[in-house]
A and B are shown apart, each in its own frame.
Chain A
Amino acid sequence: MHTGIEDYKGILLSGDFNKDTKKIEDILKNDSILFKRMIKVGHTGVRCQLYYIDGMVNASMIDDSVIRPLVSTSIEDKALATTTFLMSNILFTSDAKTQTDLGEILRSLLYGDTVLILENSKTAILIDSKGWRTRGVSEPVDERVLQGPREGFDEAAMLNIALIRRKLITPDLCTEMLHVGKRSETLVFLCYLGSLADKKTVELIRKKIKAIAIDGILDSNYIAEMIKKPKYCLFKTIGTTERPDIVAARLLEGRIAVVVDGTPVVLTIPYLFCENFQSDEDYYLNFIVSSVGRGLRYVCFFLAILVPAAFVALSVHHFDLLPTSFALTLTRLRGGVPFPSVIECLLLIFVFEILKETGVRMPQSLGHALSIVGGLVVGQASVEAGIISAPMLIAVALSGIAGLMIPRLKGAVLYIKVLFVIAAALFGFYGILALAFIMLLRVLSLDSFGTDYTLPLLNPNRQSLKDTIIRAPWENMLTRPAFNRNKVRKERIDD
């Protein structure tokens, strides 16, 4: 049983009009939106079968540029009714090509092209007539900026490539097209700047994408999950963005972008740990403001993962480290709370995550009401009812809010936070230290497609740190990231 386009690859058209058209119609017999029309080329009497998928094509373009010229042509000589003649003299389309392979013909047809099968011809004409509606270029909801470009990717890969291309007007920009997914035949583009990207990394990614065996790719995360190594890791080793400016900036650093049709999320490789703390608009704001913001994000990362754990450790293991007045306040406020501190903490983290998730999924108008009900009413009522203690609520809320500062690490922060709380409850600060040590080892052992994950932090030098913990002025950023073989970004111009 045939399942995908690949199964028809290598099967060539026979040249027998009836047989070839029947074959195509048999393959797509269950496709109710397949449009077919038999026309005759001018006065020659040569039959021509037209196929396209309704809704995926620009119908008026087919009418004006394909059907009308074919029908109204004045040629009478049967010998002229060949694919080559029609393409060069009759059809008014900009993109048309011939194809003999049935697999490729089907792929084009199902991706919005119009297929013309000509009587007595072993080749079909494929006319680019894609005309489906797209969402259009709009600002990505999750990557909003106060200052800077506001365009975002769309679900159409071609449009996305065009958006990148518009920012990088250079012949150095390479876009390789691949098809992934046995049944979906999703278009995947590998984009990179030939002179900057590491050839080995490009080859590695290409190999990994080609090796993907899956029925369908509906989002770039399918690919990210399948090419990522190690698979079970809390940290992202592949970057994602919906912004063409970010992709362009990363390509300029020698990274590789993977654009997947059907999703606005573009993958960028390699992805380093320090990128989690970089914001899209770091480069559009004053470098001092950006540097402060970046420093704040590092602080918030530690606050997010450590505050609840440190609080649990202090209250159940290291009570002596608390100032006496605070220790007494804590004791007073905890009086009557039915749960142990660790359970109380984990419950609050759980509730906070529920509130966060519902807030994200809710319509915006309901989201505000939810945050008021969740944050104020439930929080305050729980404290007053003695179900939770106010200091624990503050610790978990602080951690949660700090975590929102680093959205790229949102999943990792949650898991690490919970692990730290458990370690703190079991062993106090010893547990926190031990886990921190294990985490550090784990992060240090990671790599993103051959590039050390902690690269600028692991082997710091003056230049590499200029876009890591701070964002130095462009004037001073003379080199590209350390993983790039072509390091010099900017020649120093001596006055």
Chain B
Amino acid sequence: MIKKTFSLSLSLIFLFLTACTGYTESDSKYIISAMGFERVGKEIIINLQTLSADEGKEEITQNAYSFSSSTPFAAFNGVKTKLAKPVTLEHCSAIILSPDLKREDIINICEFCKNAERLNTSVYFAVCKDVKGLLECKAVSQAAGGYDISAFIETRTEDTGMSYKNRLYEILSAKEDFSPTFNLPFFIVEDGEFYIDGEYIYKDFSSFSRLDNTQSLLLSVITNRYSGGNLYIENEAAQIDTAHTYFSADLKEDRLYIKLKTKFCFKEHSQNFKNIFESDALRLLNKKEDIYDFAKLLEQKERKLFEKIKDNYKEYFNKSIIEYSVEVMVK
């Protein structure tokens, strides 16, 4: 029995030796709280916001480092050479993209994030023109500026009821879609402080459209990413319990008809809210930019119709007739 136990133990030890990961103390590495990517000329610049426990100091120190190279992988490897301790991406909470990044850059960044060791797939993506400035902002409520960014996104989502499709796993899963679409909050940096001003829509990994805060809310309601709360549109306010938008489509005389109907369940609302919401939404819908990812909705709900038009979807969408109506119900 002893021999059996001994041999089993030994074989298990050897088996698990293969899974032996590096022993690293928490204080002997740089914790990356946020990363940023921007393009300058032919090079990609990576910006890292790092946290480290320095000897003799009671607080954690926040620093920013950058490095430029041709690819995100090379830039990341380059910036590591500037640092005295190994880096860990385990607690990275935000990845900031510059709006100047090209489609290939974003695909490369996604690929880098997918393969980066121990990067959390729930990490938030956001857009900012001043990537470095945003990462250099000092922490206000959290331990590091990077965590402030993610906390800011979470608070915004909770307060307004709208949500973004901006987590790494959401972006990676969008890759499989017919027309990958995701929306990232847009940050503005002013005097060392930052705030969210609308969002950027990315379609097929390219910057597609920019929406202001109101448009962002409308889009959120239309695409059923709105969970209720206080909604403000042009000085009109409503306390919304639930909102759901119904989608239907038809192909008549080689023309795509899209019918949308949003049903609001209000707790309270001002007189003109319904009309203003309806007109503003319609204006946004008639821009004829498929920022709503209707293609995915069609694929899910009108499969046969989608199969017919998918090869020329863009043309069909541009010629489509969109009807939109709002129905309200006071609770």
User: Which A residues are closer than 8 A to B by beta carbons?
Assistant: 230, 315-317, 319-320, 324-325, 327-328, 330-332, 334-337, 340-341, 425-428, 430-431, 434, 437-438, 441-442, 445
The residues in B between 125 and 162 inclusive whose CB is less than 8 angstroms from any CB of A are: 143-144, 147
Q: Are the CB atoms of B13 and A434 closer together than 8 Å?
A: yes
Query: How many chain-B residues does the 8 Å CB contact rule pick out?
Result: 38
Q: Are the CB atoms of B120 and A331 closer together than 8 Å?
A: no
Among residues of A, the one whose C-beta sits closest to the C-beta of B2 is A230
Q: How many contacts between A and B, using CB within 8 angstroms?
A: 91
Q: Are the CB atoms of B91 and A437 closer together than 8 Å?
A: no
Subset of 22 A-B contacts with CB under 8 Å = A230-B2, A316-B23, A320-B88, A320-B91, A324-B91, A327-B26, A327-B31, A327-B90, A328-B91, A332-B58, A332-B59, A334-B25, A334-B26, A335-B27, A335-B54, A340-B23, A426-B23, A430-B20, A434-B12, A437-B12, A438-B9, A445-B1
3 smallest CB-CB distances across A and B, nearest first, come from A335-B53, A320-B90, A334-B27
Among residues of B, the one whose C-beta sits closest to the C-beta of A426 is B20
A341 is contacted by which of B19, B25, B55, B60 (Cβ under 8 Å)? B25
Residue numbers in B under 8 Å from A335 (CB-CB): 27, 53-55, 57-58
Once A331-B53, A334-B25, A430-B16 are accepted as A-B contacts, the answer to whether A445 and B58 lie under 8 Å apart by CB is no
Min C-beta distance of A179 to chain B, whole Å: 33
Is B218's CB within 8 Å of the partner chain A? no
A441 is contacted by which of B2, B8, B21, B25 (Cβ under 8 Å)? B8
Once A316-B26, A327-B90 are accepted as A-B contacts, the answer to whether A332 and B53 lie under 8 Å apart by CB is yes
Residue numbers in B under 8 Å from A441 (CB-CB): 5, 8
Residue numbers in A under 8 Å from B15 (CB-CB): 434
Docked CA distance A316–B19 (Å): 14
Docked CA distance A442–B2 (Å): 9
Among residues of B, the one whose C-beta sits closest to the C-beta of A321 is B90
User: Which B residues are closer than 8 A to A by beta carbons?
Assistant: 1-2, 5, 8-9, 12-13, 15-17, 19-21, 23-27, 31, 51-60, 88, 90-91, 93, 118, 120, 143-144, 147
Residue numbers in A under 8 Å from B52 (CB-CB): 331
Among residues of B, the one whose C-beta sits closest to the C-beta of A317 is B21
A331 is contacted by which of B23, B56, B60 (Cβ under 8 Å)? B60
Docked CA distance A317–B143 (Å): 22
Docked CA distance A442–B4 (Å): 10
Q: Are the CB atoms of A331 and B90 closer together than 8 Å?
A: no
Among residues of B, the one whose C-beta sits closest to the C-beta of A316 is B23
Docked CA distance A336–B57 (Å): 9
A328 is contacted by which of B9, B13, B51 (Cβ under 8 Å)? B51
Once A319-B26, A319-B88 are accepted as A-B contacts, the answer to whether A336 and B56 lie under 8 Å apart by CB is yes
Docked CA distance A210–B234 (Å): 98
Among residues of A, the one whose C-beta sits closest to the C-beta of B93 is A324
Once A320-B118, A325-B143, A331-B60 are accepted as A-B contacts, the answer to whether A315 and B26 lie under 8 Å apart by CB is yes
Residue numbers in A under 8 Å from B20 (CB-CB): 426-427, 430
Among B5, B24, B25, B57, the most chain A Cβ lie within 10 Å of the Cβ of B25
Docked CA distance A464–B204 (Å): 63
Q: Are the CB atoms of B93 and A340 closer together than 8 Å?
A: no
Docked CA distance A316–B24 (Å): 5
Once A331-B27, A335-B57, A427-B20 are accepted as A-B contacts, the answer to whether A319 and B90 lie under 8 Å apart by CB is yes
A430 is contacted by which of B19, B25, B91, B120 (Cβ under 8 Å)? B19
Q: Are the CB atoms of A438 and B21 closer together than 8 Å?
A: no
Docked CA distance A14–B19 (Å): 80
Q: Are the CB atoms of A427 and B88 closer together than 8 Å?
A: no
Among residues of A, the one whose C-beta sits closest to the C-beta of B90 is A320
Min C-beta distance of A447 to chain B, whole Å: 11
Min C-beta distance of B171 to chain A, whole Å: 20
Min C-beta distance of B319 to chain A, whole Å: 49
Residue numbers in A under 8 Å from B31 (CB-CB): 327-328, 331
Min C-beta distance of A430 to chain B, whole Å: 5
Once A325-B143, A328-B60, A434-B16 are accepted as A-B contacts, the answer to whether A316 and B25 lie under 8 Å apart by CB is yes
Once A316-B25, A332-B59, A335-B27 are accepted as A-B contacts, the answer to whether A438 and B91 lie under 8 Å apart by CB is no
